[in-house]
Amino acid sequence: MKIVVRGANWIGDSLMTVPALRALRSIFPQDQIFLHTREWAEGIFRDADFLDGIIPYERPGSAYSEVVSQSAALRKERFDLAILFPNSFASALTVRLAGIPRRIGYANRERSLLLTDRVPLANWRSDRHEVFFYLELIKEVERRVLGTSNLNNSMPCAEITVSAERKADALAFLSSKKVDVESPLVVLGPGSTNSIAKRWPFEKFAEVADKLKQQRNASVLLLGGKDDAEIARKIVEIAPRSVIDLVGKTALADTAAILSVCDLLISNDMGLAHLAPAVGTKTLVIFGPTNPVTTRPFSDIAEVVREGVECSPCMLRECPIDHRCMNWISADRVVELAVSKIVTNDEAN
């Protein structure tokens, strides 16, 4: 059988689908599985051993153009089964127009008629991790297509592979940027693309960088997308000798490789917070307005830092009061946690 999975639309969400994709491979070990996803996501899934291929797409000028062009591209592949992670009408219309005979996804009033197998929306979504929203859909695929329930007892795995060659390239790239790769490598992720309220103050990131430089002789890197460049600039102005600014200067695939050779990521609730532990890097993620129960990194090597204020999580994109959920988290608290997770070469020996 030839299967296509429509991927999620954000970096963090894409990484939260990894356990579901791994589960899909486990129940269809001999079948072909392709991921239909945004072009940037290829950087996440480049070395994925649970996929046979990636069909990337980029959004054109209109939703209509996207549906027409992508349904035509999928029609050529002659898929037998489509699985939809997004709940959008457009994703369901795309696979329907592509002529894929079996189409499974969560049902809603707008798109139910476009699906052959309609899975009721989970009523527990606000109480469990988002990973299970996607994983439960794959469990339903197993029940409906294979008539089995083997995934009910499986342990979710959110790991992403980065090849040895890409890791070597990442170290070479860092060396070319005058990074001491023999020292502890710490990445800061000070941005967030869709919420100002999720940002820990940039002054505190700068303070953390200074103190990790002093206490652990760490090489501190700034990573993020082009939208984070202004925040990175402010941190560099405050702590010019303590940070190396790579924000907006690396593709997502390169970012994943860089994270895989670093010792620690400290970031806001953003895509990097999911990517780092997925590639095996210890992570401290600072939560404020968002809910760690549902969207924290799904990994034992990731730790949430938050302040238990009465108004959090509010899920607002801008704080209407004093941003206490973030402002009350001190740089010293983050530094103490970071130092406990960094192992120097002398300690390792």
Pairing of strands 2-6, 53-57: unpaired
158 found inside a domain = no
Return the higher-pLDDT residue of 194 and 298: 298
Each residue's pLDDT tens digit, 249-274: 999 999 999 999 999 999 999 999 99
Chain mean position to CA 106: 21
Signed CA dihedral, 123, 125, 131, 133: sign only: positive
Domain count, the chain: 2
CB atoms within 10 A of CB 23: 24
159 found inside a domain = no
Say whether the peptide bond before residue 313 is cis (omega within 30 degrees of 0). Answer: yes
pLDDT level of residue 345 (50, 70, 90 thresholds): low
Same domain for 187 and 124: no
Same domain for 273 and 139: no
Mean predicted confidence (pLDDT) in 28-34: 98
Same domain for 119 and 261: no
Asked if 334 and 204 touch (Cβ cutoff 8 Å), the reply is yes
Q: Cα separations (Å) of 310 from 285, 323, 324, 327?
A: 20, 12, 10, 14
Same domain for 133 and 182: no
Percent of the chain with pLDDT over 70: 98
208 found inside a domain = yes
Asked if 82 and 63 touch (Cβ cutoff 8 Å), the reply is no
118 found inside a domain = yes
pLDDT level of residue 340 (50, 70, 90 thresholds): very high
DSSP sequence for 181-212: TTS-EEEEE---SS-GGGPPPHHHHHHHHHHH
**Best CA proximity match to 173, nearest among 263, 262, 274, 266:** 262
Same domain for 224 and 93: no
Same domain for 141 and 179: no
Chain mean position to CA 291: 15
Each residue's pLDDT tens digit, 104-135: 999 988 899 999 999 998 888 888 999 999 99
Q: What gap in Å lies between CA 176 and CA 99, rounded to an integer?
A: 49
Asked if 244 and 221 touch (Cβ cutoff 8 Å), the reply is yes
Q: Cα separations (Å) of 135 from 103, 144, 157, 171?
A: 17, 14, 11, 34
227 found inside a domain = yes
Query: Residue 140: which H helix or E strand, with range?
Result: helix 130-141
The residue out of 134, 153, 172 marking a domain boundary is 153
Parent domain of 178: 164-348
Domain of 331, CATH number, reads 3.40.50.2000
Mean predicted confidence (pLDDT) in 328-342: 97
Same domain for 196 and 118: no
Q: How confident is the model at residue 78, as a pLDDT?
A: 97
Whether pLDDT at 319 is above 90? yes
Whether pLDDT at 64 is above 90? no
Whether pLDDT at 335 is above 70? yes
pLDDT level of residue 240 (50, 70, 90 thresholds): confident
Whether pLDDT at 349 is above 50? no
pLDDT level of residue 328 (50, 70, 90 thresholds): very high
Q: What gap in Å lies between CA 141 and CA 195, rounded to an integer?
A: 34
Asked if 208 and 200 touch (Cβ cutoff 8 Å), the reply is no
284 found inside a domain = yes
Each residue's pLDDT tens digit, 294-304: 999 999 999 99
Same domain for 35 and 96: yes
The residue out of 104, 128, 153 marking a domain boundary is 153
Asked if 83 and 138 touch (Cβ cutoff 8 Å), the reply is yes
User: What strand order describes the sheet that includes 219-222?
Assistant: 243-245, 219-222, 185-189, 264-268, 282-286, 302-305
92 found inside a domain = yes
Q: How confident is the model at residue 347, as a pLDDT?
A: 63
The residue out of 133, 153, 173 marking a domain boundary is 153
Same domain for 135 and 192: no
Q: Cα separations (Å) of 201 from 129, 189, 307?
A: 27, 12, 14
Each residue's pLDDT tens digit, 130-149: 999 999 999 999 999 999 99
Pairing of strands 264-268, 282-286: parallel
108 found inside a domain = yes
Query: Where would I find the H helices in 78-125?
Result: 89-97
Query: Residue 146, exposed/middle/buried by CB under 10 A (0-12, 13-18, 19+)?
Result: exposed
Q: Residue 4's beta-bridge partner residues?
A: 34, 82
Whether pLDDT at 344 is above 80? no
Q: What is the pTM of this model?
A: 0.94
- Determine phi and psi for 104, rounding to 5 degrees: -115, 130
Same domain for 282 and 182: yes
Same domain for 305 and 208: yes
Each residue's pLDDT tens digit, 66-113: 899 999 999 999 999 999 999 999 999 999 999 999 999 999 888 999
Q: How confident is the model at residue 196, as a pLDDT?
A: 92
Same domain for 218 and 70: no
